Amino acid sequence: MKGAFIVSHTGFRRILRRTILLMCALTIADASLAGGGNSTPYSGNYRLASSEAQSTSQSATTREISGQIFDAQGIPLIGATVMIKGTSKGIHTDTDGKFTLTIPNTGKVVILVVSYVGMKPREIGITTQETIKIKLEPDTEIDEVVVTGYGVVQRREDLVGSAYQVSSKKLELMPVSRVDNLLDGMVPGMQVSKGFNNSDESMRARLTVRIRGDASLSASNEPLWVVDGAPIYTGGITGLSIGTEYTISPLSFINPNDIESITVLKDASTTALYGADGANGVILITTKKGRMEKTNINVSFKYGVAFANESTRYKMLNASQYMEYAQEAWVNAGYPISAFPYQDSEYNSYSTTDTQWHKLYLDTGQTFQVDLSASGGTKRMKNYISAGYYSEDMILKGNKQQRISLRSNSTYTFFDGLEATLILSGTYNINDTFPSTRNYYETLPIFSPYENDGHTYRLYNYYSRDSFFEYKPTQVKFTSNDLPERDQNDNRQRALNASINASLKWEPIKGLSATTQFVSNYIGTYEALYYARTNLSGYYANEPSGISRRSGVFNLNWASVNRINFDREFGKHRIGALAGIEFKHEEGRNLYVSGYDFINDQIKEIAYVPSANISGSSNTTYSRSLSYLGQVSYAFDNRYYMTVNARRQGFSAFGEYSRWATFASVGIGWSIHNEKFFRSNIFDTLKLKASYGTSGNSRVDTSSAYGTYSLSSSYSYQGNIGAKQSAVSNPGLTWETTYMTNVGLSVGLCKRVMVDFEFYNNVTTDMLTESRVSSIISEDAVMRNVGKMRNRGYEITITSANIVHKDFSWQTELNIAHNQNKILSLYEGITKSFGERVWEVGRAKNEWSLIRWAGIDPADGRPMWYDKRGNITKVYNYDNRVSDGRTPNPDVFGSMTNILRWKEFSLRFMLNYTIGGWQYTALDRYTLNSGYDIIESNAPLEALNHWTAPGELATSPRIAYKNDMKATSYTDRFLHRMTNIRLQNIALTYSFPKRLCKKLRMEAMSISLVGDNVYLWTPDQKRGKNSYKTIMNSGYPMTTTYSANLSITF
């Protein structure tokens, strides 16, 4: 199907315009069919009263009833719906919450059904009344409850901790390839990026998720993911699945359309129950389930077209620019132009070749998704069943993902008080991978990918190499041409994810329940790689050989949870309690085998090569954990709240001296707005909350405490296989502990604006990292507990209903986050350097430590730096590196989402922003090297602005091949301000009129046009030039996707 659906910008705008006009016509036509009059506004959810039903001329069989609708605080509700039960006649309240409705005058009771979004509907019986006043209560089953785990569901008003919940409504029409990318920008204080500092040089880069910053030096900083109460395997300490050549995130197994809500837990009051896994935050995913209602069937289709956003592509020299630049660098190095390596021959025509390599690697991509689900139930049985298929051809050719998913969620009630739930899910992922990195933009434009016949892939080029003063051409391997590897090699990965979640719940009395739960998750990944004899990757000892590699990775996790929950109201008192025991088992097995010297490229199985050419390895890891957990919560009169949590946990991966630890927290809250003394026409909500406690981090290499031995024939002794100690044991290794403080304030204004402010201070002690010990013990570093680190910051969420009208509404949500990281202590205060970044007491983790760039000397074009004292020097010295407070942590980051609704139309757009922070780009360092390796690699456009003559002002030094100027080594010349704003998602949706849906025998139908990653802005951007905009993703362009979505419910 590739290439079958390519839409130009002009064509897309034309289709969009015609679609909107058609939708407008349908809306106007339906409104006219619904009848006129001022008292008959139309809602897409109801067929309202006709003009005859609302006629001002009253007959003897009808009369009018007037009323006003309020919320629990007595605020009039605008746009509430009042319907006559059993009919399609109804009306909306006006701006004062008032309505007048014509009802039958038959002497019988007329039932009015009153409803409002977020409120519990009410039925009111009308006999002889002429005016009524109705108060609606909040619907705690819609958006006023927060799932915090282990069967605990709290009202939002009772919450004393930090938890942010994302509903399925917010997740609609967002990218669906993987769930972590889905949350990008949605959650205050949560960052999703490509590797460290967006530095992962791959189109299929792993994503890192950080909640309130890095809490550890070397242990995992990834949050714990929990699906329906079951922790899921998301990879090793770096979030990668260990054991395969190319890793695919386990989070890509989850179908976002099965998600009911996602709750992100961020403070001790909410994470302490998760003990040693909660220090980095906890992300709870609750999947959809059946309800006691008639069966609803939903089917949705989505098709999208993706392309490389040209404005974000890294710009390189074309062929003529390159030749001029390279020849200048060659001559400046003192070599004669007659010996220049690239001269035309019968094999290569360098002067006439201009290959745009990015066009050969990148192409139009496409996505396709279809989902089918059915939900419903009776008093006895409730079911939710879904099936989904997702396919994505990425813009980097050779990369494709397919996901087939099945899920069922069934609850059976044996009798009142006893129910069983069984959740089954299975996902099969098919991935074709092509791991291209910098070659796509560094390969010289004067090289052709093909031989002179125009279609055979070129494996060699003919030019002079390693001869500087005389032209001596020879055949040189074309290793930077990845195209034959993409088209001729096998890079296949298949993964099966299967899980079972079974629970039995008994509620002998109201509010008291006992639950036993067993969950198991299995992930099996098989990777088949074959490097063909027809390209250089399949060569062995410089001969065509064919190389095959097979990997198998198998992870099995299971857990058993037994708990007792209590939640009951006694007058003004509400008491909750939890007591439980949890046992977890995790194990992983890796198998690897490789072989070479195949007779052809059709036989690829390793069994068909000589046994001497076969090698392999295997590995097994496992860990177990036992925990006792408890919680007590208390609320009085909807004013005062307190929650206490504790967890005692033992973990097998730690040594005998420190296998057990206790984590606990306490949180309090005060709803000031519910006090009798509180009277305000402006503030409708005013609440304070605070929490303090501990959480831990146990996600380290399970062998760190015990040490490891490697067995290999390389260590043979008297003809027998031998062993060598590869890691020294540390039986005193213990948990990292994070002490968390959180203070929050919630303010509601005029029932239109809600402001949530939170301040946090998290201090991690006994941080796990490798450090040197006495050489008597080991020559290698040993994992040990050293140091202390702090993360301190604030988060602000502002939600506002800007305009609320029966036909038009506008809502905005803005979240703002700031985090400041600081290392408080290290082992003996020793600074640890990692080239361009350091760990140093008093500074942020990974603060940049670089030599300050002083520019170019106009006299001779050589680079200049500042030494540590601030004096300009032309002598490069690594010891002149300084840390001046510039870090990869932004000053402020977050997002803003706007939702506009007009009748049946809705428009949502989301802006993701980062302000401040600094990114050090290895991309610049590799390419802006003043011609050092210009014979081997291309240069970016800004390389043209280099010094050429005395007195000239330039941004880049004098160029020379293999120069000794060290202009690219660890200098802040390549630090870029990270400020940017991205139009992350925009979606226009039209919901078809209810009347039309009924005629088509459907419950509902909608169509949406969606754009993802539509635009990116940076302050330094310039058309046709490189800037932070083109380098922030390590040279790969941003993928922009436009898609159409159709959803139908029967």
Give the pLDDT confidence of 274-332 residue by residue, as tens digits. Answer: 888 888 999 999 999 888 778 889 999 999 999 999 999 999 999 999 999 999 999 99
Mean pLDDT of 655-664: 85
Q: What was the pLDDT predicted at 775?
A: 60
Map tokens 């590739």 to a residue: 2
Give the pLDDT confidence of 985-996 residue by residue, as tens digits. Answer: 999 999 998 888
- Give the domain range for residue 92: 35-135
| Nearest residue to 670 via CA among 637, 633, 640 | 640
| pLDDT higher at 128 or 32 | 128
Query: How open is the CA angle 659-519-555, to the nearest 5 degrees?
Result: 70
**What share of residues in the chain are helix, strand, coil (percent, to 5)?**
15, 50, 40
**Strand pairing partners for 761?**
741, 792
Assigned token pair, 420: 């069983």
pLDDT tier at 118, thresholds 50, 70, 90? low
Mean pLDDT of 841-852: 94
| pLDDT higher at 962 or 97 | 962
Q: What was the pLDDT predicted at 205?
A: 62
Distance CA(601)–CA(544), nearest Å, equals: 10
pLDDT tier at 1024, thresholds 50, 70, 90? confident
The answer to whether the beta carbons of residues 768 and 221 sit under 8 Å apart is no
3-state SS assignment for residue 17: helix
| Nearest residue to 309 via CA among 192, 407, 398, 395 | 395
Q: What was the pLDDT predicted at 727?
A: 74
Residue 119: is its pLDDT beyond 90?
Answer: no
pLDDT tier at 3, thresholds 50, 70, 90? very low
The answer to whether the beta carbons of residues 274 and 1023 sit under 8 Å apart is no
Residue 20: is its pLDDT beyond 60?
Answer: no
211 is a domain residue? no
| pLDDT higher at 774 or 191 | 191
Residue 928: is its pLDDT beyond 50?
Answer: yes
Residue 521: is its pLDDT beyond 90?
Answer: yes
**Strand pairing partners for 91?**
82
Q: What is the pTM of this model?
A: 0.84
The answer to whether the beta carbons of residues 365 and 395 sit under 8 Å apart is yes
The answer to whether the beta carbons of residues 889 and 844 sit under 8 Å apart is yes
Assigned token pair, 467: 């001869």
Alpha-carbon torsion angle 957, 963, 968, 971, nearest 10: -80
Mean pLDDT of 929-953: 93
Alpha-carbon Rg of the chain, whole angstroms? 33
Residue 626: is its pLDDT beyond 70?
Answer: yes
- Cα distances (angstroms) measured from residue 939 to each of 619, 925, 944: 43, 11, 9
Distance CA(780)–CA(776), nearest Å, equals: 11
389 is a domain residue? no
Assigned token pair, 173: 């029409």
Map tokens 């500042």 to a residue: 866
The answer to whether the beta carbons of residues 160 and 1026 sit under 8 Å apart is no
70 is a domain residue? yes
Assigned token pair, 909: 């757009």
Residue 262: is its pLDDT beyond 80?
Answer: yes
Mean pLDDT of 485-505: 94
Q: What was the pLDDT predicted at 51?
A: 35
Residue 342: is its pLDDT beyond 80?
Answer: yes
Assigned token pair, 83: 């319907």
Query: How open is the CA angle 924-930-936, to the nearest 5 degrees?
Result: 85
Reported as type and span, the H/E element at residue 616 is: strand 614-636
pLDDT tier at 778, thresholds 50, 70, 90? low
The answer to whether the beta carbons of residues 158 and 997 sit under 8 Å apart is no
Q: What was the pLDDT predicted at 887?
A: 94
3-state SS assignment for residue 301: strand
609 is a domain residue? no
CATH of the domain at 117: 2.60.40.10
110 is a domain residue? yes
Q: For all residues of the chain together, what is the average pLDDT?
A: 86
The answer to whether the beta carbons of residues 501 and 487 sit under 8 Å apart is no
Distance CA(277)–CA(519), nearest Å, equals: 17
Give the pLDDT confidence of 708-748 residue by residue, as tens digits. Answer: 777 777 777 777 788 777 777 777 778 889 999 999 999 99
pLDDT tier at 943, thresholds 50, 70, 90? very high
The answer to whether the beta carbons of residues 101 and 65 sit under 8 Å apart is yes
Q: What was the pLDDT predicted at 43?
A: 33
The percent of residues above 70 in pLDDT, for the chain, comes to: 90
pLDDT tier at 922, thresholds 50, 70, 90? confident
Residue 57: is its pLDDT beyond 60?
Answer: no
For β-strands 980-991 and 1004-1017, DSSP reports them as antiparallel
779: exposed, middle or buried (C-beta count within 10 Å: 0-12, 13-18, 19+)? exposed
Alpha-carbon torsion angle 379, 380, 384, 385, nearest 10: -140
Give the pLDDT confidence of 946-959 residue by residue, as tens digits. Answer: 999 999 988 899 99
Q: What was the pLDDT predicted at 4?
A: 35
Q: What was the pLDDT predicted at 910?
A: 95
Q: What are phi and psi of 317, to 5 degrees?
A: -70, 140
583 is a domain residue? no
Map tokens 């005395």 to a residue: 950
| pLDDT higher at 900 or 108 | 900
**Number of folded domains in the chain?**
1
HEC sequence for 544-582: ECCEEEEEEEEEEEEEEEEEEEEEEEECCEEEEEEEEEE
Residue 8: is its pLDDT beyond 70?
Answer: no
Residue 123: is its pLDDT beyond 90?
Answer: no
Give the pLDDT confidence of 233-249 residue by residue, as tens digits. Answer: 887 666 666 778 877 77
Distance CA(592)–CA(608), nearest Å, equals: 17
Residue 1008: is its pLDDT beyond 90?
Answer: yes
Mean pLDDT of 166-188: 85
822 is a domain residue? no
The percent of residues above 90 in pLDDT, for the chain, comes to: 59
pLDDT tier at 1036, thresholds 50, 70, 90? confident
214 is a domain residue? no
